[in-house]
Structure 1
Amino acid sequence: MSSFDVIVVGAGVIGSCTAYQLAKSGVNTLMIEQFPLPHSRGSSYGQTRLTKRSHRKPYMSDLVPESIAFWKSLEKDYGTQLLMQTGHLSIANSEKTNHVLEPMKTNLRNSNVDYTEFHGRDIGIAFPGLEFDSSFGAFFEPNGFTIKATKCLHALQSEFVKHGGTLQENEKVIEVKHLSANSVSIRTDSHKVYYAKSVVLACGPWINTVLRPFGIQLELQPVRVITYYWREKTVGKYSIHNNFPPFMVYFGVYHVYSTPSYEYPGLIKICYHYRAPVDPDAPDLLDKESEKAEVERLGILKQLIAKHFPQLESVPVLTENALQTITPNSDFIIDRLPGFPNIVIGAGFSGAGFGPAPAIGRALSRLATFQDPGQDMEVFKLGSRFVYNKAKL
């Protein structure tokens, strides 16, 4: 019989951060992943991610310092650079979306985080390659970081095993059973059964499949996000090595976001913030309405590229798909399953979970070992916000 203290289901960044912190603390931990590693089926896929303090919600901003310290410590232990200090630029149409930037700046001031403001044409002077007129304002946060996401995942999983953790990949969890207040069992498609005192479910859009026998479904929506890469007219103009920063631009009812040229030299990632509902087991199949919406938004994005990014070709040369799982208000779910104190859930990270994953992993690991997760996690408790009664399904 295979028995552990804790089983973590899902080896994305949330599951890997949780399992790593458990193993490093001496907890006998099994991490199970349904796909071969590495894979592109979850929201942790991709070469780079961002972390920054400039959030509209202060409790999101508060997770960042702990997480940056964690990534730097892991970087030292693993012996490979995982963070690049690139800063972050936030731009908004002052007339339509000034309400977006102001809460961010307020949070930065309250946290004593420095930033520099720019207006109109000064944005392009400070950051060559951008063109915005007097209707736009911006601020630059120098302490933003670009995360080498793929390397972070490999580092977490390697260090997890180094600290005595057991990693099972290409093995899908079929059933979770609650046996007692300190015992659960996990059955997989390999006809294996594992036992533990507690389990952490960090399996992204597949979590409701696991929870269905418990009569609980979380209000989650799996979505597909298309990542577009655009060719530089002058190679290096928008490069991370040329100190070009990641940015977000708010135009009113929509916004775009970007990371500088890094993973594909000569190409910069700029995406329209649109999420198409999908079945996580068939993420390439969209309904006609979503297909039409993606085409329309790509058309808008091409126009924005031509107008505001004159040193880019205005047709994307590469696309990649990412899978995310979102909650109605984009807040995370970090809690114990109601009525089952040794079943812990981490879900709904809404495309914003990679940067603060170390803080999230700390909370989930503490919940799994029957400890308090910390006051900073109170806002992410399940409560009655996301639970559906089984009879309503």
Structure 2
Amino acid sequence: MQNLAVKNVIIGAGAMGAAAAYHLARRGEEVWLVEQFALGHARGSSHGAARIIRHSYADPDYARLMPLAYRAWRELEADAALPLFIRTGGVSFNPSSVSYVEQVAENLQALDVPHRRMSGKLWNEANPAFGLPADYDVVFEPDAGMLTASKAVATQIELASRLSPKTRVLPETPVRRIDLDGSRPVVVTDDLTIEAERLIVAAGSWVGRLLPDLALPVRPTRQQVLYFRPGDRAPFEIARFPVFIYMGESPDQAFYGMPDFQGLGVKVARHGGPDADPDNPDPEVGEAYRDLVRDFLRAHIPALGSADIGLTEVCLYTIAPGERFLVDFHPARSDVLIASPCSGHGFKFSCLIGRVLADLAANGATDVPIDAWKRV
């Protein structure tokens, strides 16, 4: 067993951990990034070709942070000299009995983000791939789009190594325990005992197991994703088909999707899923779930409702109460940060959250307003 002393240790090399490593390295800090699986693995929440990014939030706490999130991604693209954002436009829609679009439109107006609110009938006329009921409430945001998810995570890890010679990345290095009994946090793996001046725990669905004494109010859930391949794929290409969010009358009636990207097909999923054990992944997507998504598509995007499913994916959400984020110091220690900002909608914020974590680790405070997330 080798004993080491390191300034910054980050557990978890997914979207949040990679972003924290990038932002700390950008400041010239020493960073060790510890990941239990291979880099870019498919066991957590950060893999896959793309994730949606949008200003369109019904919750003002999240909406008001989206301009900062967009800027963080632009700064990353500049540092990397690589495009990571694909502008597709984004549409949110709901039945007339639901107030989601009304709230989204109010927040877009408050942020001065260009948008257009309209009926389902008018939306269908502008975008004939859709077949929404005529009285649906719809809002279109032209600046929404997709982030190249796996590429973005890998880029931040690469930049962390390039920007600071004191960066070390340790894939396939499971953390067996975190010792918080001493003056500094200690991370124990099979071969290393690492004393950290500062520790960031960004372990996704494993965060509760690494910090069992806190009884964090998070639960892993299983998210199932389908990729549809219609006979005529042209109407669903980027620049013709937007990312979309549908909000029905109950929480289990929320769906999202995005255009055909990298030839994978049109990505569609219901938001949320059953509780899951992250150590026992189940890659199968059953017929009942496929039928559920098809029923939604037949009623809203008819050509996809009968299309072949060419690919399925499964990932994990780490859900906190109210689908909030948890980004805060350990309640008993100022040298341990806990980052569980997921709840199924965290990727778009991840580059900004990396900056927040670097601020908190280095300075103990941040100018980004995250009070709504500080509930550990």
Shorter chain as denominator, the TM-score bin is: over 0.9
Residue 117 of structure 1: CA displacement? 1.7
Q: Structure 2 CA distance, aligned partners of 1:305 and 1:375? A: 38
Aligned pair 1:122/2:122, yes or no? Answer: yes
Per the alignment, residue 83 of structure 2 pairs with 81
The correspondence for 1:272, drawn from 249, 270, 273, is: 270
Residue 375 of structure 1: CA displacement? 5.3
Q: Structure 2 CA distance, aligned partners of 1:285 and 1:268? A: 19
Where do residues 159-170 of structure 1 align in structure 2 (5 Å cutoff)?
159-164=159-164, 165-170=167-172
For 1:381, the aligned partner's letter is: K
2:248/2:254 contact within 8 Å kept: yes
Q: State the SS of the aligned residue for 1:218.
A: coil
1:330/1:348 contact within 8 Å kept: no
Aligned pair 1:219/2:221, yes or no? Answer: no
Change (3 A) 1:49 1:375: closer
The correspondence for 2:243, drawn from 223, 246, 250, is: 246
Per the alignment, residue 317 of structure 1 pairs with 310
The correspondence for 2:371, drawn from 369, 378, 382, is: 378
Specify every segment of 5 or more residues in structure 2 that has no aligned partner in the other structure, as ranges.
none
Where do residues 149-298 of structure 1 align in structure 2 (5 Å cutoff)?
149-164=149-164, 165-178=167-180, 180-181=182-183, 183-189=184-190, 191-212=191-212, 215-240=213-238, 242-253=239-250, 254-265=253-264, 267-284=265-282, 295-298=287-290
Q: State the SS of the aligned residue for 1:340.
A: coil
For 2:261, the aligned partner's letter is: Y
For 2:260, the aligned partner's letter is: S
Q: State the SS of the aligned residue for 1:276.
A: coil
Aligned pair 1:53/2:55, yes or no? Answer: yes
Residue 370 of structure 1: CA displacement? 4.2
Q: Structure 2 CA distance, aligned partners of 1:198 and 1:29? A: 10
Q: Structure 2 CA distance, aligned partners of 1:297 and 1:101? A: 26
For 1:66, the aligned partner's letter is: L
For 1:196, the aligned partner's letter is: A
Q: Structure 2 CA distance, aligned partners of 1:25 and 1:237? A: 45
Please list the CA deviations of residues 327-350 of structure 1 after superposition, one character each: whole Å capped at 9, or x if unmatched.
Answer: 121110111111111111001511
Q: Structure 2 CA distance, aligned partners of 1:130 and 1:84? A: 21
Please list the CA deviations of residues 330-374 of structure 1 after superposition, one character each: whole Å capped at 9, or x if unmatched.
Answer: 110111111111111001511111111122112212222242133
For 1:217, the aligned partner's letter is: A
Residue 297 of structure 1: CA displacement? 4.2
Q: Structure 2 CA distance, aligned partners of 1:47 and 1:306? A: 25
Q: State the SS of the aligned residue for 1:355.
A: helix
Q: Structure 1 CA distance, aligned partners of 2:341 and 2:157? A: 22
Please list the CA deviations of residues 299-320 of structure 1 after superposition, one character each: whole Å capped at 9, or x if unmatched.
Answer: 2321232232232334533211
Q: State the SS of the aligned residue for 2:369.
A: helix
2:186/2:193 contact within 8 Å kept: yes
Moved more, 332-341 or 371-380: 371-380
Per the alignment, residue 342 of structure 2 pairs with 349
Q: Structure 1 CA distance, aligned partners of 2:226 and 2:283? A: 18
Per the alignment, residue 147 of structure 1 pairs with 147
Percent identity, aligned pairs only, is: 26
Residue 243 of structure 1: CA displacement? 2.8
For 1:144, the aligned partner's letter is: A
Moved more, 368-377 or 145-154: 368-377
Moved more, 354-363 or 374-383: 374-383
1:198/1:342 contact within 8 Å kept: yes
Q: Structure 1 CA distance, aligned partners of 2:44 and 2:283? A: 16
2:89/2:140 contact within 8 Å kept: yes
Aligned pair 1:340/2:333, yes or no? Answer: yes
Q: Structure 2 CA distance, aligned partners of 1:178 and 1:305? A: 50
Q: Structure 1 CA distance, aligned partners of 2:355 and 2:182? A: 24
Q: Structure 1 CA distance, aligned partners of 2:310 and 2:317? A: 23
Q: State the SS of the aligned residue for 2:334.
A: strand
Q: Structure 2 CA distance, aligned partners of 1:304 and 1:285? A: 22
Q: Structure 1 CA distance, aligned partners of 2:361 and 2:181? A: 16
Q: Structure 2 CA distance, aligned partners of 1:136 and 1:85? A: 25
Q: Structure 1 CA distance, aligned partners of 2:199 and 2:65? A: 24
How many residues are matched? 369
For 2:109, the aligned partner's letter is: R
TM-score by length of 2: 0.93
For 1:202, the aligned partner's letter is: A
- Once superposed, what is the RMSD of the aligned Cα atoms? 1.8
Specify every segment of 5 or more residues in structure 1 that has no aligned partner in the other structure, as ranges.
384-393
